[in-house]
Structure 1
């Protein structure tokens, strides 16, 4: 059968889609683009904002409208958190965020019987970690390895704990096995992903933490580069940095979740740190690593944010000196405490987003300029704009002259300039 999957949302969703595609291929099915003719269309949904919900509904409606005879199936966070809304849509199979392999079993049954089916569970009742195939799409140089699921932070703007349930971790021994498999398959880098990877190991209650996992994976496959997903700043301690800096394969890019640079706003967000603790993490990373790329996300226009609080956030991000930032105007997520708070006018949110983006771009340009003259081992991935594109360990994009012979090679590259968004380099060695 021909099956098409459309994925919305985060890297965890992307990882789970890749795992489902691998399993479907193993079962003899053909994976085709969502725009092609197929026997079944699957939408792996997101529910992080109301806009995400809307996009999920739109993709399901599109699949049904354009392919009325095909099976239309839905899974993911929107289906998990809003099953009553999904039931009103013209879909054949509904599942949430659990038991991906069971979902594929039902999809195959649906393709045979064409009887509407539903498989939902209570996210908060989950205790086991579903082990899925690791890897990336064919031809990829970088693979994702999901090592954690669930979150118990309950930030006031976020519905994800309700969609994903409590913390569950991939056992260390299994993570080591998967990492060795990815190295043997030819991948050059793995990215640890999860809903909240900083909480890896908490459910084991044996003292294991994320840094123990990192050390084990680097020892198991020293030829692989290891890149971390988003971290809670409380993860970054003196012990974490000391041990992490001793790992030669660890990429010095750290995405520290921030959301706001104002303590009062952080309190309303129900974040578990203040700006002093956050700055401590940034300071530690800069002490133990040579020009690490510290990146972050920032929400502007959060309910109740005053102009003074916004100004505090702008001053704070300049103090941190981020290498790159993602700026988001606050988007209402119905069903969360923040949705009931005093809202900021849209025009104000948009204005603050532009002002924050201008500061973020200035910081990004400063970081890129500081890379000129450096030599990095760059993992080359694909052709782009008549150049070949790759990423340095700090995850800055590097462009060089070259062809397909560079694909999946790690080559020493001297940075000679920047075009404002990427680094321009010259190869220091023959491909």
Structure 2
């Protein structure tokens, strides 16, 4: 059968789609583009914002409209948190965020029987981590490895704990085995992903923490670069940095979840740290690593945010000196406490987002300029606009003259300049 999957949302969703695609191929199915002809169309949905919900509905409606005779199936966070809305859509199979392999069993059954089916569970009842195939798309140089699922932070703007349930961790020995398999398969880099990887190990109750996992993976596959997903700032302690800095394979790029640089706003968000603790993490990373890329996300226009609070946030991000930032105007997520708070006018949110983006661009430019003259081991991945593109350990894009022989190779490269948001380089060794 020909099966197409469309993915919305985060890297966890992307990972789970890749895992499902691998399993479908193993079962003898053909995975085809969503824009083409297929026997079944699957939408792996997101529900992080109301806009995500809308996009999920639009893709399901499009699949049904354009392919009335095909099976239309839905899974993911929107289906988990809003099953009553999904039931109103003309879909054949509904599932949530759990048991992806069981979902594929039902998809195969639906293709045979053609009768509507639904398989939902209670996310908060989950206690086991579902182990899925690790890897990337065919020809990819970088693989994702999901090591954690679930979150219990209950930030006031976020619905994801209700979609994903409690913390579940991939056991260390299984993660090590997966890393060795990816190394043998020819990947050159692993990206650890999860809903909140900083919580890894908490449910295992054996004293292991994220740094133990990182050390175990680096020891198991020393030829692979290891890149971390988003971190909770409190994970970054002196011990964490001391142990992490001793691992040559660990990429010095740290995405520290921030959301706001104002303590009053952080309290309304129900975040579990303040700006002093956050700055401590940034300071530690800069002390233990040579020009690490510290990146973050920032929400502007959060309910109740005054001009003074926004100004405090703006001053704080400049103090941190981020290598790169993602700026988001606050978007109402119905069903969360923040949706009931005093809202900021759209024009104000957009104006603040513009000011924050300008500050972020200045810092990004300064970080890129600071890379000029440095030599980095760059993992080259693909041709782009007549040049070949790769990423340095700090995840800055590097462009060199096009040469297909560069694919999936790590080569020392001297940075000679900046072109937009990318670095220009010269190879220090022959291909």
Aligned residue number for residue 422 of structure 1: 422
Q: Which runs of 5+ in 2 are unaligned?
A: none
1:295 matched to 2:295? The reply is yes
Distance in 1 of aligned mates of 2:217 and 2:302: 38
> Which residues of 2 match residues 218-237 of structure 1 at below 5 A?
218-237=218-237
Render the CA deviation track for 1:390-426: whole Å, top value 9, x for unaligned: 0000000000013211000000000000012100000
> Which residues of 2 match residues 299-314 of structure 1 at below 5 A?
299-314=299-314
Distance in 2 of aligned mates of 1:222 and 1:204: 25
Distance in 2 of aligned mates of 1:420 and 1:379: 20
Render the CA deviation track for 1:183-211: whole Å, top value 9, x for unaligned: 00000000000000000000011110000
> Which residues of 2 match residues 21-420 of structure 1 at below 5 A?
21-420=21-420
Distance in 2 of aligned mates of 1:399 and 1:419: 9
Render the CA deviation track for 1:352-373: whole Å, top value 9, x for unaligned: 0000000000000000000000
Distance in 2 of aligned mates of 1:203 and 1:110: 35
Distance in 1 of aligned mates of 2:404 and 2:345: 49
Render the CA deviation track for 1:48-73: whole Å, top value 9, x for unaligned: 00000000000000000000000000
Distance in 2 of aligned mates of 1:120 and 1:286: 45
TM-score, with length taken from structure 2: 1.00
Distance in 2 of aligned mates of 1:430 and 1:122: 56
Secondary structure at the aligned position of 1:192 is classed as: strand
Q: Which runs of 5+ in 1 are unaligned?
A: none
Distance in 2 of aligned mates of 1:59 and 1:344: 30
Render the CA deviation track for 1:125-171: whole Å, top value 9, x for unaligned: 00000000000000000000000000000000000000000000000
Secondary structure at the aligned position of 1:202 is classed as: coil
Distance in 1 of aligned mates of 2:6 and 2:30: 15
State the shift of 1:254 in Å.
Answer: 0.0
State the shift of 1:45 in Å.
Answer: 0.0
Render the CA deviation track for 1:203-242: whole Å, top value 9, x for unaligned: 0111100000000000000000000000000000000000
State the shift of 1:314 in Å.
Answer: 0.4
Render the CA deviation track for 1:331-375: whole Å, top value 9, x for unaligned: 000000000000000000000000000000000000000000000
Distance in 2 of aligned mates of 1:128 and 1:238: 31
Secondary structure at the aligned position of 1:315 is classed as: helix
Distance in 2 of aligned mates of 1:30 and 1:194: 27
Render the CA deviation track for 1:229-271: whole Å, top value 9, x for unaligned: 0000000000000000000100000000000000000000000
Cα RMSD (Å) of the superposition? Answer: 0.3
Secondary structure at the aligned position of 1:166 is classed as: coil
Distance in 2 of aligned mates of 1:192 and 1:353: 29
Aligned residue number for residue 4 of structure 1: 4
Distance in 1 of aligned mates of 2:239 and 2:308: 36
Distance in 2 of aligned mates of 1:151 and 1:27: 32
Runs of 4+ in 1 over 3 A off after TM superposition: none
Distance in 2 of aligned mates of 1:312 and 1:384: 39
State the shift of 1:22 in Å.
Answer: 0.1
State the shift of 1:78 in Å.
Answer: 0.1
Distance in 2 of aligned mates of 1:49 and 1:337: 13
Distance in 2 of aligned mates of 1:39 and 1:45: 19
Aligned length in residues: 431
Render the CA deviation track for 1:314-338: whole Å, top value 9, x for unaligned: 0000000000000000000000000
TM-score, with length taken from structure 1: 1.00
